[in-house]
Amino acid sequence: MQILVIGATGYAGRRVSTALTRAGHTVLGLARDTAAPAARDLTVNEVTPVEGDFTKPETWREHLEDTDAVVHLLMDMSDPVGGDQRLFAELLAAQERDGRRRHLVFTTGISSYGRTGLPLMDENTPGNPESPIGFRFGLEKELAASGLAHTVVRPGFMYGGPASTSMTGQWFAAAEEGSPVFYGDAAKRWSWVHVDDLADAYVRILDNPTAVDGETFVIADDQRRTALDMQHAAVRAAGYTGEITLESAEAGGMMQMAADQDELVTSAKAHRLLGWTPRHTSFTDNPALHYRAWKTAQAAQTGAWSRWMT
C-alpha cells in the first residue's frame, strides 16, 4: 500500500511513518523542505520525503496520485478547521477524478473532550462543545458525513523518544532552565501513550483499513497518575530538586486551558478490534531513560541545524 503521511516530520509523524515503512508499506512523508534535516531523517528510515505545504493544497495535491491511504497527523494552528476541511475536499476531488477510494486516518486527541465530569471516557463519550479545541469533534462529524473512507484516532498525551512536542519534553526543558511551572488543576489526571505504541496502532489500522472504516479509536495506556506527579518525575530526572511553581491554566495559553481537567480514557475498543496493547507501561517506570532520549535528541538537532546552516 502507498501511504501519504501529512505531518511526517513532526514528533508522532516520524515514528508513524517509520513504523508503516517497516510494516512493508511505501510511505511518502510530506515536508515543506525535503532538504531539511528532519526530511533527511525520513530518508534514512526509508520514507520518501515529498515536498508540499499543508496550508497550500496545490503544492501536495499531486502526491495523492497512486496513494491508497493518507495519515493526517498535523493541526494547522493558523486555520485548524479550514485546513482539515480543505483536506477532506481534496480527497473527495481526487476520488472523483480517478475513482480510487483512499482511506484517511484522521488524528484528533483526548483533550478535544473538554470537561465531561466522567471518571473514564471512551469513543462514545460526547465532547463538551465549550472545550477550546472541541471543534475537532465537529471535524470528526464532518468527516463521517463526507462519505470518505476513514478511521479516527484520538491519542492520549504522548511521551518517549525525542519528545519534541510532548509535555514531558517541555517539563525537561523547564527543569534545565530552573523554572518548571505546572498550569491549572494540580489534581487532574491524564491518559498517556508512548509514541511507538501509538505508531503501532496506525500500523494495525492500515493492515486492514476496510475492517475499521468509519471507526474511532482512543489510544492510550492505563496509567492513572496525576499530571503533577508526572511532572515531578520528569523534573527530578532532569536533575531539578526545587519546587514546581503553580500557575493558572490561562497563564499557559490555549493548549493548557484545553487540557485543564481529568482526561482519563479506556482503549478497550482498540484492544478488542485492533489487537492493540501498549508495550510501554508508564513514563514513570523510567523517567531517566526518557530524559536521556530527549537530551540526546536536543543535542543532535542543534548539531544538525548548525551543519545545515553552514
Dihedral angle sign, alpha carbons of residues 217, 223, 226, 232: negative
pLDDT at 186 over 60: yes
* Percent of the chain predicted with pLDDT > 70: 97
Reported confidence tier of residue 307, pLDDT bands at 50, 70, 90: very low
Residue predicted with more confidence, 199 or 303: 199
Q: Give per-residue pLDDT as tens, 254-277.
A: 889 999 999 999 999 999 999 999
Strand partners, 39: none
Please report which confidence band the pLDDT of residue 304 belongs to, taking 50, 70 and 90 as the band edges. Answer: very low
3 state DSSP class of 190: strand
For 108-118, what is the mean pLDDT? 95
Give the number of other CB atoms < 10 A from CB of residue 16.
Answer: 32
Instruction: Show the CA angle centred on residue 86, arms to residues 83 and 87, nearest 5°.
Output: 90
Summarised one tens digit per residue, pLDDT across range 35-47 is: 999 999 999 999 9
β-pairing verdict for 26-31 and 48-51: parallel
Q: How far is it, in rounded angstroms, from Cα 117 to Cα 107? A: 23
The four Cα atoms 219, 284, 263, 137 give a dihedral, to 10 degrees, of: -40
Query: Mind listing the pLDDT tens digit for each residue in 82-103?
Result: 999 999 999 999 999 999 999 9
Question: If we measure between CA atoms, which residue out of 243, 229, 250 comes closest to residue 167?
Answer: 229
Q: What is the pLDDT of residue 301?
A: 74
| Mean pLDDT of the chain, nearest integer | 95
- pLDDT per residue over 139-155, tens digit each? 999 999 999 999 999 99
**Whether 166 contacts 242, CB under 8 Å:** no
Q: How confident is the model at residue 302 (pLDDT cuts 50, 70, 90)?
A: low
User: What number of other Cβ atoms are within 10 A of residue 304's Cβ?
Assistant: 15
Beta-carbon contacts of residue 165 (< 8 Å; ≥ 6 apart): 10, 11, 158
Task: Quickly list H helices, 147-244.
Answer: 167-177, 195-207, 227-237
Of the listed ranges 26-30, 146-150, 189-193, 302-306, the least confidently predicted one is: 302-306
Q: 25-64 burial string, b = 16+ CB within 10 Å, else e?
A: bbbbbbbbebebebbbbbeeeebbbbebebeebeebeebb
pTM across the whole model: 0.95
Contacts with 140 (C-beta within 8 Å, 6 or more apart), sequence order: 106, 108, 152, 216
Within 102-153, residue ranges assigned H as helices are: 135-146
Other beta carbons less than 10 A from residue 144's beta carbon: 14
Q: Quote the CA–CA distance of 147 and 149 in Å, as a whole number.
A: 6
Grid cell, residue 146, equals 463526507
SS3 10: coil
Backbone dihedral angles phi then psi of residue 257, each to the nearest 5 degrees: -65, -40
DSSP designation for 270? H
> How far, rounded to the nearest angstrom, does the alpha carbon of residue 266 sit from its chain's CA centroid?
17
187 grid coordinates: 489534581
